[in-house]
Amino acid sequence: MKPGWPALRREISVAGPRTVEEVWDRYVRPRRWPEWSPQIRSVDYAGERLAPGTSGVVRGPGGLPVRFQILAVHDTDPVRTWSWTASAAGVRLALLHTVEATAGGTRTRLTIVGFGPVVLAYLPLARLALSRLVR
């Protein structure tokens, strides 16, 4: 979020046929993010799996570096969650992801809070990525 600007909060939800275990594994292993998130070109992260208090860098189109920090990871059913912050060009977003089983597979939700224009611009990309995550 930009200092002095009001924050905007939005949530999206996507369901698909993949199992919770498959979706969770694709989420908590940052090296796998480019497989399903077309806006992520590469990830620099020291660990194999997400862990609270760790940080890294995601590179998007044009090599734009987005620094991130993992805030929390809860991998117990019925709803698994992880949260992080992402910062680039003086803008910071807070993101919360949830993963839960459905009768036909998995539902994932994203809650994003930050500078309004950035949140609104990111939502279509996030929806596309989450659709690929669960399919």
Q: Distance between CA 96 and CA 39 in Å, rounded?
A: 18
- The pLDDT, as a whole number, for residue 62 is 83
- The pLDDT, as a whole number, for residue 15 is 98
Q: Is residue 106 part of a domain?
A: yes
CA 101 to chain centre: 18
Question: Judging by DSSP bridges, how do beta strands 55-59 and 65-74 pair with one another?
Answer: antiparallel
Q: Is residue 17 part of a domain?
A: yes
Q: Is residue 1 part of a domain?
A: no
Question: Do 48 and 63 form a contact (C-beta atoms < 8 A)?
Answer: no
Q: Is residue 128 part of a domain?
A: yes
- The pLDDT, as a whole number, for residue 5 is 67
Q: State in Å, rounded, how far the first CA of the chain is from the last one.
A: 31
Q: Is residue 20 part of a domain?
A: yes
Of 37, 12, 27, 24, which Cα lies nearest the Cα of 79?
A: 24
The domain of 20 spans 7-134
Q: Is residue 85 part of a domain?
A: yes
- The pLDDT, as a whole number, for residue 3 is 57
pLDDT in tens, 102-112: 999 999 999 99
- The pLDDT, as a whole number, for residue 73 is 98
- The pLDDT, as a whole number, for residue 6 is 77
- The pLDDT, as a whole number, for residue 63 is 85
- The identity of residue 17, as a single letter, is P
Q: Is residue 2 part of a domain?
A: no
Q: Distance between CA 30 and CA 25 in Å, rounded?
A: 9
CATH of the domain at 48: 3.30.530.20
- The pLDDT, as a whole number, for residue 4 is 61
Q: Is residue 63 part of a domain?
A: yes
Single pTM value for the model: 0.91
Instruction: Tell me how many domains the chain contains.
Output: 1
Per-residue pLDDT of the chain (135 residues; tens, 9 = 90+): 455 667 999 999 999 999 999 999 999 999 999 999 999 999 999 999 999 999 999 998 888 899 999 999 999 989 999 999 999 989 999 999 999 999 999 999 999 999 999 999 999 999 999 999 999
